[in-house]
Amino acid sequence: DARVTQTPRDKVTEMGQEVTMRCQPILGHNTVFWYRQTMMQGLELLAYFRNRAPLDDSGMPKDRFSAEMPDATLATLKIQPSEPRDSAVYFCASALMNTEAFFGQGTRLTVV
Amino acid sequence: QKEVEQNSGPLSVPEGAIASLNCTYSDRGSQSFFWYRQYSGKSPELIMFIYSNGDKEDGRFTAQLNKASQYVSLLIRDSQPSDSATYLCAPGAGSYQLTFGKGTKLSVIP
């Protein structure tokens, strides 16, 4: 059963700490998206990769956020230092070329 | 900046009625259009996609696309309480940058 796997599912951290979220895309998919969802802003595109190369990360606060794909089976999103306004659900999604994007279960981040 | 506009709702329809969800987009380069459904506390899942002008039907769902007007809609016939969810529109650009609207919350009243 192919699925996008995100870890952790829930994360509570103190302001100023580093947070790392991980995503394992579906095997064979070459496009990976990172989204942030809040009640106020909806589903915001933070960054996306094609064949592990970053194509657009303009939606991401550069001073504290970074996204990478160390290899084809792992995508990471890091926040350093974290702030309370970063509290949200972070979704990873993967797709093969321009077809349907499949979403992971999300990481619920709470920064206190 | 690519913009996607949806009526946030909530949209309430009685069971068995037709629910009509609308979406406008600003990027004329968009070639593909996706409708996702998101239940509360869950992740989005694809229910329809459309590439060409006109209508595309899949069971109780019909997607309608008008590229000249930069408008895409989703009709749900014979609405069921299980259709109650938030519906997200996502135009895909040529580079496949998938940008979502804020979604329309649909409530189907038994």
Provide the pLDDT for residue B92: 79
CA dihedral A96, A98, A100, A103 (to 10 degrees): 70
Q: Compute the nearest-CA separation of A90 from chain B (Å).
A: 10
Compute the average pLDDT of residues B19-37: 90
Cα B51 to chain centroid distance, Å, stands at 14
Give B105's contacts in chain A (Cβ within 8 Å): none
Query: CB–CB of A98 and B43 under 8 A?
Result: no
Query: CB–CB of B43 and A48 under 8 A?
Result: no
Q: Is A41 helix (H, G, I), strand (E, B) or coil?
A: coil
Shortest CA distance to B100 belongs to which of A33, A62, A24? A33
Place of tokens 């979403």: A103
DSSP label at residue B3: -
Provide the pLDDT for residue B72: 93
Nearest CA in chain B to A54: B97
Shortest CA distance to A64 belongs to which of A76, A88, A81, A47? A81
Query: CB–CB of B102 and A42 under 8 A?
Result: yes
**CA pair distance B10, A34, nearest whole angstrom:** 27
Residue B1 pLDDT level (bands cut at 50, 70, 90):
low
Residues 26-45 of chain A with CB under 8 A from chain B are 31, 33, 35, 41-43, 45
**C-beta of residue A6 within 8 angstroms of C-beta of residue A107:** yes
Provide the pLDDT for residue A93: 96
pLDDT in tens, A44-90: 999 999 999 998 888 898 899 999 999 999 999 999 999 999 999 99
Task: Evaluate if residue B2 carries a pLDDT over 60.
Answer: yes
Give B96's contacts in chain A (Cβ within 8 Å): 31, 50, 95, 97-98
**C-beta of residue B54 within 8 angstroms of C-beta of residue B63:** no
Q: A51 — phi, psi (to 5°)?
A: 50, 40
**C-beta of residue A94 within 8 angstroms of C-beta of residue A32:** yes
Give A95's contacts in chain B (Cβ within 8 Å): 96, 98
Place of tokens 């009685």: B14
Compute the average pLDDT of residues B1-29: 89
Nearest CA in chain A to B43: A105
Mean per-residue pLDDT over chain A, rounded? 94
**C-beta of residue B26 within 8 angstroms of C-beta of residue B2:** yes
pLDDT in tens, B49-108: 998 889 999 999 999 999 899 999 999 999 999 999 999 999 876 556 788 989 999 999
